């Protein structure tokens, strides 16, 4: 099934929005709800059950979907017509937004994964031999920041897609003009040849 620019835009925007929502909801409240249970020579950290880790990974997954479809949409052969990558990258504005979209996607991935993996590690390793431990938790604010950057990344992919569509139209217009020009030149030469033949006859 052939996809259209509108369908790509909806997928990128919807995935970016879901990544933003999951990242914001996953943001943990301030620490303080963790309880320490003293044991024999160890301290057991009892963390409250919350979906932070699952939501963090979901936010990251939808960021990947948004980024993958954003990249795919730029070079997809719409209506069976492919455009050389060089034709797209001749457009300076497109190159700028393409690089910004890639950069923000990478920053969002780092901001989403770092606290999610850290929190998962804390949940798995909750028994500490250091009796003075404070029961560590993941840094707050990173997931929320990653969610906003993820949404920004989706918006930049949409802008890059619009610019790529404009560059694609310009490319096909140039190709069409070149083909018409060559055809017109051949026709004129043939006409001149026939005219000269008539005059000699």
In a domain, 25, yes or no: yes
> pLDDT tens digits, residue range 74-116?
999 888 888 888 888 888 999 999 999 999 999 999 999 998 9
Q: Which of 22-31, 61-70, 113-122 comes out lowest in average pLDDT?
A: 22-31
> Quick check: is 130 in a domain?
yes
Arithmetic mean of pLDDT, 148-167: 95
Looking at the domain assignment, is residue 95 inside a domain? yes
> Sheet of 43-46: strands edge to edge?
35-38, 43-46, 127-128
Res 125: pLDDT: 72
- Residue 197 in domain: no
Q: Is the pLDDT of residue 191 over 50?
A: no
Residue 174 has a pLDDT of: 82
Q: Which two tokens stand for residue 53?
A: 């880790």
Would residue 193 count as lying in a domain? no
User: Are 156 and 107 contacting, i.e. CB atoms less than 8 angstroms apart?
Assistant: no
Percent of the chain with pLDDT over 90: 44
Q: What is the mean pLDDT of residues 110-129?
A: 83
Q: Which domain holds residue 158?
A: 5-171
| In a domain? residue 103 | yes
Residue 189 has which token pair?
């030469």
> Scanning the structure block, which residue is given the tokens 């950069």?
103
Alpha-carbon dihedral 27, 33, 38, 43, rounded to 10 degrees: 20
Q: Which residue has the higher pLDDT, 88 or 132?
A: 88
Average pLDDT, the chain: 82
For residues 183-199, give the mean pLDDT.
48
Query: Is residue 200 one of the residues assigned to a domain?
Result: no
- Identify the pLDDT of residue 130: 65
Q: What is this structure's pTM?
A: 0.79
Q: What percent of the chain has pLDDT over 70?
A: 77
In this structure, is residue 146 part of a structural domain? yes
User: How confident is the model at residue 183, as a pLDDT?
Assistant: 45
What's the pLDDT at 190?
Answer: 46
Question: How many domains does the chain contain in total?
Answer: 1
């Amino acid at each position: 099934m052939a996809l259209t620019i509108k369908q790509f835009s909806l997928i990128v925007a919807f995935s970016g929005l879901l990544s933003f929502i999951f990242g914001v909801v996953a943001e943990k409240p301030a620490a303080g709800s963790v309880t320490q249970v003293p044991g024999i020579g160890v301290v057991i950290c009892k963390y409250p059950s919350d979906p932070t880790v699952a939501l963090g990974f979901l936010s990251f997954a939808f960021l990947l979907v948004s980024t993958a479809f954003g990249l795919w949409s730029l070079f997809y052969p719409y209506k069976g017509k492919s455009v050389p990558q060089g034709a797209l990258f001749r457009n300076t504005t497109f190159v700028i937004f393409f690089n910004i979209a890639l950069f923000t996607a990478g920053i969002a991935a780092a901001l989403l994964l770092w606290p999610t993996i850290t929190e998962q590690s804390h949940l798995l390793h909750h028994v500490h031999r250091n009796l003075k431990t404070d029961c560590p938790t993941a840094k707050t604010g990173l997931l929320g920041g990653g969610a906003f950057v993820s949404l920004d990344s989706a918006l930049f992919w949409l802008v890059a897609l619009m610019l790529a569509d404009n560059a694609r139209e310009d490319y096909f217009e140039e190709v069409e003009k070149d083909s018409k020009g060559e055809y017109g030149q051949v026709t004129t030469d043939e006409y001149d040849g026939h005219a000269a033949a008539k005059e000699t006859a």
